[in-house]
Amino acid sequence: MKHLLIVGGGPAGTAAATTAAARGCRVTLVEKSIVGGAAHLWDCIPSKTMTATAVRIDSIRNAAKLGLVAEPGQVDPRQLAARISKISESITASWNQLLGSQGVELIRGTGRFVGTNTAEVETETGTRRIDFDNALISTGSFPRVPPWAEIDGERILTTRDAYDLPVIPEHMVVIGSGVTGVEFVHIFNSLGSKVTIVVSRQQILPHRDPEVAAVLEADFIERGVKLVIGARAEAINRTDEGVEVVCDDGRIVRGSHALLAIGSIPLTASLDLEAAGIEHDHGYIAVDEFQVTSQPHIYAAGDCTGQMPLSSVASMQGKKIAQHLVGLPVRPIDYSKVTQAVFTEPEIASVGLEDIQAAQEGRKVRTTKVPFAANARGVLQGYQGGFVKVVSDPATGVVLGGTIVGHRASELIGILALAVQVDVRAEELIETILVHPSLSESITDAAE
Ligand SMILES: Cc1cc2nc3c(=O)[nH]c(=O)nc-3n(C[C@H](O)[C@H](O)[C@H](O)COP(=O)(O)OP(=O)(O)OC[C@H]3O[C@@H](n4cnc5c(N)ncnc54)[C@H](O)[C@@H]3O)c2cc1C
């Protein structure tokens, strides 16, 4: 029986552990914090728990459109923080149970390599030496903090400090306009903070379709969010009133709190990768299409590889590693077909090829688009902003990609994700009779 050692119990590590154990491997999982990883403790679950509250507030604020007179009332930050940790704990408890039921040995401690087939784990009771046949490194990442920022956890924050603030900040300055930055803009705006976002490029979500970014920017402006465009933060100072963010063009943005959301760095420095002969680039572990490192018996997955940093991707990598390890046929992940979402309101979700990307690559595509303003369910529920865009191959009609901006886009995109995954043709989408009235009708309409 092969002995697989997994260091890091986030989405990548836990998915690999359960899949490998179910296929007859002996699995030892080393985790220094909680099972479920950063995804459960600081990232996906807590941020989306806050988003759930924010979206509920949004809907109460918009209830007047539906003839309901209501006030959102006050958010109690302590109750919100308690809900976040309760949800994280309950998901972690289910994972602990699942791992236990599959016979995965869980060791609480910090792992590092001492040889090509040996690791040591620092536990509360001492050091444990573990010999393994195969290993998986899935230690994740942590928020990037530039040298000009000193995080104090009170006023100058990373995303990890955002979940148990004693008060709802009066004025939050968000630095960074990628997915995480804009999600926190939406959260704090809805919770009642005044919000300013410092955007280093000329648009928020700098790597996305400008048409998509424009919808979100317009929504932010309507909500009263201040956008400081084309300004790179280069210092954050504590002041008597709160914080001031100094930008490279001399602009100074003042607020009560500042939140840094400028990416992450791999959590691999203390692993002693050299002891196991594992190659890396500034801490990001180099892997092939099957997640195999420079050592053929050692895999790496998730954020520590610098591939697409998503929990969904990390889990899929973990599952495929377990299949590869036991000799099952494995199809490498096609990263161009990964579904992605931005959990703002409206939400943004996309899969596959974007028309802007096709234009950059000189590819001929057919792009069709319908606004949600033409969708009966959207109109009657008061969700009229946004659109659905479908990109297909003009020669074969195969759906190559799609983007949805609107309420529940992260759920609706599933239809397009499946279409892209299994090469559905636009005419097959069009012929699918969906529920009426439903938001999903916009997808089949957009495919016409
Ligand atoms: C604010 C925020 C929100 C996000 N929201 C989403 C989202 O909605 N959807 C989505 O798909 N992605 C989201 N992400 C990204 C997602 O959280 C990561 O891609 C995902 O957590 C990566 O999983 P992982 O398994 O690589 O590592 P992690 O989840 O980081 O887990 C790694 C684990 O390894 C452990 N570890 C590290 N070093 C050692 C060691 N030496 N010994 C033992 N254990 C160790 C850590 O304690 C940790 O538990 C978000 C990210 C952020 C920052």
> Could you tell me if the CB of 181 is within 6 A of ligand 1?
no
Q: What is the pLDDT of residue 148?
A: 96
Q: What is the pLDDT of residue 169?
A: 98
**């949600």: which residue's tokens?**
372
Report d(CA 117, CA 285) in Å as an integer.
17
Mean per-residue pLDDT of the chain: 96
**């000189």: which residue's tokens?**
362
> Could you tell me if the CB of 160 is within 6 A of ligand 1?
no
Q: What is the pLDDT of residue 317?
A: 98
Question: How many angstroms is it from 378 CA to the middle of ligand 1?
Answer: 35
Using most ligand atoms within 8 A of CB, pick from 18, 35, 41, 44 the residue to mutate for ligand 1: 44
> Could you tell me if the CB of 130 is within 6 A of ligand 1?
no
Question: How many angstroms is it from 188 CA to the middle of ligand 1?
Answer: 23
Using most ligand atoms within 8 A of CB, pick from 95, 138, 139, 285 the residue to mutate for ligand 1: 139
Question: How many angstroms is it from 141 CA to the middle of ligand 1?
Answer: 6
> Could you tell me if the CB of 4 is within 6 A of ligand 1?
no
Q: What is the pLDDT of residue 432?
A: 96
Q: What is the pLDDT of residue 230?
A: 96
Using most ligand atoms within 8 A of CB, pick from 303, 312, 340 the residue to mutate for ligand 1: 303
> Could you tell me if the CB of 159 is within 6 A of ligand 1?
yes
Q: DSSP code of 182? A: H
Q: What is the pLDDT of residue 384?
A: 80
Q: No. of H helices and E strands in the chain?
A: 12, 25
CA 309 to chain CA mean position, Å: 7
Share of the chain above pLDDT 70, in %: 100
> Could you tell me if the CB of 48 is within 6 A of ligand 1?
yes
The parts of the chain modelled with pLDDT lower than 50 are: none
> Could you tell me if the CB of 11 is within 6 A of ligand 1?
yes
Question: How many angstroms is it from 14 CA to the middle of ligand 1?
Answer: 11
| Phi-psi map region of 71: left, alpha, beta (phi>0 left; psi -120 to 50 alpha) | beta
Question: How many angstroms is it from 184 CA to the middle of ligand 1?
Answer: 18
> Could you tell me if the CB of 340 is within 6 A of ligand 1?
no
Query: Which residues of 184-339 form beta strands (DSSP E)?
Result: 194-199, 226-229, 233-238, 243-247, 252-255, 257-260, 264-266, 280-281, 284-285, 298-300
Question: How many angstroms is it from 37 CA to the middle of ligand 1?
Answer: 5
Report d(CA 232, CA 120) in Å as an integer.
42
pLDDT digits (tens, 9 = 90+) for 53-93: 999 999 999 899 899 988 888 899 999 999 999 999 999 99
Q: What is the pLDDT of residue 152?
A: 96
Q: Which helix (H) or strand (E) holds 107?
A: strand 105-108
Question: How many angstroms is it from 319 CA to the middle of ligand 1?
Answer: 16
What is the secondary structure of 5-62 as a DSSP string?
EEE--SHHHHHHHHHHHHTT-EEEEEESS-TTHHHHHTSHHHHHHHHHHHHHHHHHHT
> Could you tell me if the CB of 37 is within 6 A of ligand 1?
yes
- The two structure tokens encoding residue 16: 């690999």
Q: What is the pLDDT of residue 70?
A: 86
Using most ligand atoms within 8 A of CB, pick from 267, 320, 342, 343 the residue to mutate for ligand 1: 267
C-alpha neighbours within 13 Å on the C-beta side of residue 33: 14
Q: Which residues are paired to 118 by β-bridges?
A: 131
